[in-house]
């Protein structure tokens, strides 16, 4: 029988992996990996502010992630700095600011390891509520934006000419990612959030002929990684968050042993006609 | 033609970025069922002007009028899709709306029916141009805006595509605003040519423009087009080949 804490860990992990699949696919398609990293790195600042203002820590993370997403949304419209430079500034700035702020509160003892790499085995009922409430909201929002987002991923101007409210969709999408990142923190920690977004999606790519299939496969692969990682963690007493990521990486490598479905082809192997 | 309704009109449009004047007092008018071609050297602001005309980019000053309620079909210069994005041509066409039958028949019209099920990243540059044109046509546009429609297409294909564009205009009565690098092949398929180099240098029918000193100065000897009057260019007398539109 599964003990309670393991069952909650499994539920939380699976919930996050399910939502991460479709989001991760968009992160891969739109090259937003660094963007996700930046949001995740700001989470520690959210924790610090949570302690400072005595509010729920997940709420603190959520607020900081949302504010940063908004800031980045406007930041990306300027042309003075390349967007990866801008992201680098925000990413490391926010992480360091979080650590420094925590240092100013000596009465607060923080298990840094848990925030950096996740603490899935300590997931409580309230965390599950956050994961399923927040994750469900994020997923619902994504499904609502699915068509316009796909059109924008193909070509923004073309989407705009065809009537998509590009700016609004973009802004909501970033807010949804920020919500998901805040929710994922507990499971894999701020350093590994992006990996759970992009590794399952990258694994799914070889087998997908259309965007929806890739999103669904990414969810399933993410779930497998969570199950495998938790099993490994339980068996060998390894840290759970990193074990999940290792499992995801193994699935990625193993996927190359599986023959590709026809038509899914990756372009570098493509034969032009 | 001058009595036809105006679908698009730009008057005295300026675009200034920092200290650079990218477009200067540009006037442009496209009427229903008219083909207008913008030509000009690299960096002349052709694509920028198209984007302003489409409302994708705000102008610094001047007026842009698009007739309310018209459907615009847009063909961007290039499509860069991440290799990780699994998208077949048929899905790409379906994204613009319309049923699969229409997508298929359009793909056949533009001469690329064989790529219907191919991943978008696997088709050649020439095939991509044809697919983009088909996508622009799906929504039955009143105005087609084409940014270098024949880029990456071999000469034979270019002639075919231009022929197709003028056939589409005749069949559907839509107006066409397109950008082209040179005037050679586009001659037969265009009513009016605007020569752009940040400002409009000269304009008129292709025959008039090719003789304009401003045009010759811009394009030098490369652009000299010897037009043989006995050689017939009128698209109504062309016997269309593979690019026939029914």
Report residue A260's pLDDT band, with 50, 70 and 90 as the boundaries.
confident
CB A234 within 8 A of CB A73: no
Contacts of B117 in chain A (CB under 8 A): 263
Q: Please, which pLDDT band fits residue B3 given cuts at 50, 70 and 90?
A: low
CATH number assigned to the domain comprising residue A10: 1.10.3470.10
**Nearest-CA neighbor of B149 among B38, B225, B31, B61?**
B38
CA dist., res. A171 & res. B236, Å (int): 49
For residue B3, CA distances in Å to B30, B34, B101 come to 12, 11, 36
Q: Which residues of B touch A273 (CB under 8 A)?
A: 114, 118, 123-124
Please check whether residue A26 is in contact with residue A76, taking contact to mean a CB–CB distance below 8 angstroms: no
Q: Kindly report the nearest CA distance between residue B114 and chain A, in angstroms.
A: 10
A89 within some domain: yes
- Phi then psi for residue A233, to 5 deg, are -65, -40
Residues in chain A with CB shorter than 8 Å from the CB of B8 are none
Structure tokens belonging to residue A56:
């729920």
- Residue A74 belongs to a domain: yes
A17-21, A46-50, A104-108, B129-133 — which is least confidently predicted? A104-108
For residue A25, being part of any structural domain is answered with yes
Q: Give the count of domains, chain A.
A: 1
Please count the other Cβ atoms lying within 10 Å of the Cβ belonging to residue B19: 5
Q: Rounded to an integer, what distance in angstroms lies between the CA atom of residue A200 and that of residue A255? A: 10
| Nearest Cα residue to A197 out of A40, A10, A5 | A40
Residue B4 has pLDDT above 90, yes or no: no
| pLDDT one-digit tens code per residue, A182-221 | 999 888 899 999 999 999 999 999 999 999 999 999 999 9
DSSP calls for A231-270? HHHHHHT--HHHHHHHHHHHHHHHHTTSPPPTT---GGG-
**Total residues found in chain A within this entry:** 273
Closest by CA position to A208, among listed B85, B94, B105? B85
* Residue pairs spanning A and B at CB distance below 8 A: 82
Position B237 pLDDT exceeds 70: no
DSSP element (H, E) containing A93: helix A83-103
In a domain, A200, yes or no: no
Instruction: Please give the structure tokens belonging to residue A173.
Output: 């999408």
Q: How confident is the model at residue B98 (pLDDT cuts 50, 70, 90)?
A: confident
Query: What residues make up the domain containing A50?
Result: 4-191
Give the residue from A21, A19, A23 showing the smallest Cα distance to A36. Answer: A23
Q: How many CB atoms lie within 10 A of CB A117?
A: 19
Whole-number average pLDDT of chain B: 85
CA distances from B238 to A33, A157, B149, B245 (A): 53, 35, 20, 13
Query: CA-to-CA distance for B26 and B13, rounded, in angstroms?
Result: 5
Q: Which two tokens stand for residue B146?
A: 């084409």
Per the domain annotation, does A173 fall within a domain? yes
User: Does residue A168 form part of some domain?
Assistant: yes
Per DSSP, the residues of B145-171 read: EEESTTTT--HHHHHHHHHHHHHHHHH
Question: Which of B22, B68, B84, B142 best probes binding to A when mutated, by most A CB atoms within 10 angstroms?
Answer: B84
| Cβ <8 Å between B92 and A205 | no
Q: Is the pTM of this model over 0.80?
A: yes
Distance from CA of B160 to the nearest CA of A (A): 19
Domain presence at residue A223? no
Nearest to residue A247, comparing CAs of A230, A265, A267, A264?
A: A230
Q: Tell me the residues of B at the A interface, defined by beta carbons under 8 Å apart.
A: 51, 54, 56, 72, 74, 76, 79, 81-88, 91-92, 95-96, 114, 117-119, 121-124, 135, 139, 145
Domains and CATH numbers, chain B: 1-70+146-173+180-246 (3.40.50.300), 76-141 (no CATH)
A99 burial via Cβ count (<10 Å: 0-12, 13-18, 19+): middle
More confident residue, A271 or A162: A162
* C-alpha closest to that of A173 among A22, A15, A34, A14: A22
In a domain, A254, yes or no: no
């Amino acid at each position: 029988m599964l003990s309670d804490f393991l069952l909650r860990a499994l539920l939380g992990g699976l919930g996050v992996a399910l939502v991460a699949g479709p989001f991760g696919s968009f992160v891969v398609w739109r090259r937003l990996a660094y963007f996700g990293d930046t949001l995740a790195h700001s989470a520690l600042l959210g924790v610090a502010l949570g302690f400072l203002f005595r509010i729920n820590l997940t709420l603190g993370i959520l607020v900081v992630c949302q504010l940063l997403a908004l800031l980045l949304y406007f930041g990306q419209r300027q042309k003075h700095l390349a967007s990866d430079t801008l992201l680098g500034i925000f990413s490391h700035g926010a992480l360091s600011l979080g650590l420094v702020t925590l240092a100013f509160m000596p009465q607060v003892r923080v298990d840094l390891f848990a925030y950096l790499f996740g603490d899935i085995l300590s997931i409580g009922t309230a965390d599950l509520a956050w994961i399923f409430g927040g994750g469900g909201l994020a997923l619902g929002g994504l499904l609502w934006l699915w068509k316009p987002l796909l059109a924008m991923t193909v070509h923004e101007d073309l989407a705009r000419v065809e009537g998509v409210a590009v700016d609004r969709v973009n802004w909501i999408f970033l807010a949804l990612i920020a919500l998901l990142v805040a929710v994922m923190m507990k499971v894999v920690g701020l350093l590994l959030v992006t990996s759970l977004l992009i590794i399952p999606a990258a694994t799914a790519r070889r087998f997908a002929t259309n965007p929806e299939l890739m999103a669904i496969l990414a969810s399933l692969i993410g779930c497998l990684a969570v199950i495998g990682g938790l099993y490994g963690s339980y068996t060998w007493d390894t840290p759970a968050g990193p074990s999940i990521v290792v499992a995801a990486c193994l699935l990625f490598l193993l996927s190359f042993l599986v023959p590709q479905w026809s038509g899914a082809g990756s372009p570098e192997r493509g034969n032009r006609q | 033609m001058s009595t036809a309704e105006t679908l698009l009109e730009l008057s005295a449009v300026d675009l200034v970025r920092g200290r650079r004047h990218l477009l200067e007092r540009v006037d442009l008018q496209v009427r229903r069922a008219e083909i207008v071609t913008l030509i000009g050297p690299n960096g002349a602001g052709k694509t920028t002007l198209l984007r302003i005309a489409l409302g994708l980019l705000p102008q610094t000053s001047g007026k842009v009028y698009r007739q309310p309620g018209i459907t615009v079909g847009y063909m961007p210069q290039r499509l860069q899709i991440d290799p990780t994005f699994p998208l077949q041509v048929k899905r790409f066409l379906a994204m613009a709306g319309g049923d699969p039958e229409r997508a298929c028949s359009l793909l056949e019209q533009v001469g690329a029916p064989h790529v219907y099920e191919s991943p978008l990243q696997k088709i050649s540059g020439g095939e991509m141009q044809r697919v983009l044109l088909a996508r622009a046509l799906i929504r039955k546009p009143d105005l087609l805006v084409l940014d270098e429609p024949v880029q990456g297409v071999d000469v034979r294909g270019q002639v075919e595509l231009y022929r197709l564009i003028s056939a589409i205009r005749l069949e559907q009565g839509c107006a066409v605003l397109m950008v082209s690098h040179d005037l050679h092949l586009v001659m037969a398929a265009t009513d009016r040519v605007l020569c752009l180099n940040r400002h409009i240098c000269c304009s008129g029918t292709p025959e008039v423009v090719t003789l304009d000193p401003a045009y010759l100065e811009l394009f030098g000897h490369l652009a000299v087009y010897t037009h043989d009057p006995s050689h017939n260019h009128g698209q109504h007398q062309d016997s269309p080949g593979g690019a026939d539109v029914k």
